[in-house]
Amino acid sequence: MKHKISDISGTFTLNNGVKMPYLGLGTYMPKDSQEVTNSVRFALDNGYRLIDTAAIYRNENDVRLGIEASSVPREEVFVSSKVWNSDQGYDKTIKAFEKSLANLQMDYLDLYLVHWPVVGEYKETWRALEELYKQGKIRAIGVCNFLKHQLEDLMEDAEVIPMVNQMEFHPYLVQQELIDFCQLHHIQYEAWSPLMEGKVFELPEFQKLAKKYGKSIAQIVLRYDLQKGVVTIPKSSKEKRIIANADLFDFELSEADMDFIDAMDRNHRFGPNPDNFEWSYIL
């Protein structure tokens, strides 16, 4: 299936009709809080419209400052945050959400995600997200790090099918079966660590592709995400990189090169495995 990719303001449409920008900025693990504020401002001033944060990153406040410092009004930004593992369960999730809103000083979120599938908790967490969604406090709800069996289990009791599944995704971890499953259920796939936390720059295959297309490695790998229909949120703290990473709308990867990148898959994770993640782990 060919996905329509136009420019930096382009979107994919979620299963409830909400339009989600397909290119955004990640904000995990900055050096300091000023770095997040600056990078959010750089990104927005250069056309990005999706910002990914999470309660556990403890930077929602810095994200807000970045949005305020930018030339873009809040309504034009797609703000995404996540409920952390120790806050899962119905009541705790409602409270965690209110805290995130307070940190962001916003009266709604565009997307709120369950950060990890905490065993024994995620269904009640999801019920809280459904409630907040029905109340109009969140425009779209979704999950992160849910494998097929966890999605199936969640959907057995869910009233609302998740709109997004944010997963580790890059050339070494494609999980095509999971992508196909999400597509079948109209769950938008979103990539975290799309640049392999920076390790993609060492791969000779990408050095070759970059040369072939006259583009940078980051542009090739992020273009691959978009052509696969995957929302992508590369993180950078540097204005030049933030701008360059989004300069990927003037070329198209051939089908053969898309297949070539798919075939690099090693089912290799840099992050935790959702089946045996240490739930109590606090960053």
CB of 274 to ligand NDP, least distance (A): 9
Of the candidates 80, 23, 10, 19, which has an alpha carbon nearest to the alpha carbon of residue 223? 23
Q: Which is nearer to ligand NDP, 119 or 134 (CB)?
A: 119
How many residues bind ligand NDP (CB under 6 A)? The answer is: 27
* Residues of span 194-253 touching ligand NDP by CB under 6 A: 194-198, 201, 218, 233-238, 241, 244-245
CB of 123 to ligand NDP, least distance (A): 19
* Residues of span 27-66 touching ligand NDP by CB under 6 A: 27-28, 52
Q: Which is nearer to ligand NDP, 159 or 250 (CB)?
A: 250
On whether the CB atoms of residues 21 and 48 are closer than 8 A, the answer is yes
On whether the CB atoms of residues 228 and 200 are closer than 8 A, the answer is no
Q: List active site positions.
A: 57
Decide if residue 166 touches ligand NDP (CB under 6 A).
yes
- Whole-number Cα distances in Å, 1 to 14, 17, 180, 228, 255: 16, 19, 11, 8, 11
Task: List phi, psi (to 5°) of 30.
Answer: -75, 165
CB of 170 to ligand NDP, least distance (A): 7
Q: Which is nearer to ligand NDP, 73 or 271 (CB)?
A: 271
* Burial annotation 228-246 (CB, 10 A radius, 16+ → b, else e): bbbbbbbbbbeeebbbbbb
On whether the CB atoms of residues 230 and 244 are closer than 8 A, the answer is no
Q: Identify the DSSP state of 140.
A: E
Which one of 21, 26, 142, 229 is in contact with ligand NDP (CB under 6 A)? 26
* Residues of span 107-126 touching ligand NDP by CB under 6 A: 115
Q: How many CB atoms lie within 10 A of CB 1?
A: 5
- 50/44 Cα distance (integer angstroms): 8
CB of 222 to ligand NDP, least distance (A): 9
Give residue 208's identity as a one-letter amino acid code. Answer: K
H-helix or E-strand spanning residue 166: strand 164-168
Show the site string, 61-100: x = touches ligand NDP by CB under 6 A, - = not.
----------------------------------------
Binding site for ligand NDP (CB under 6 A): 26-28, 52, 115, 144-145, 166, 192-198, 201, 218, 233-238, 241, 244-245, 271
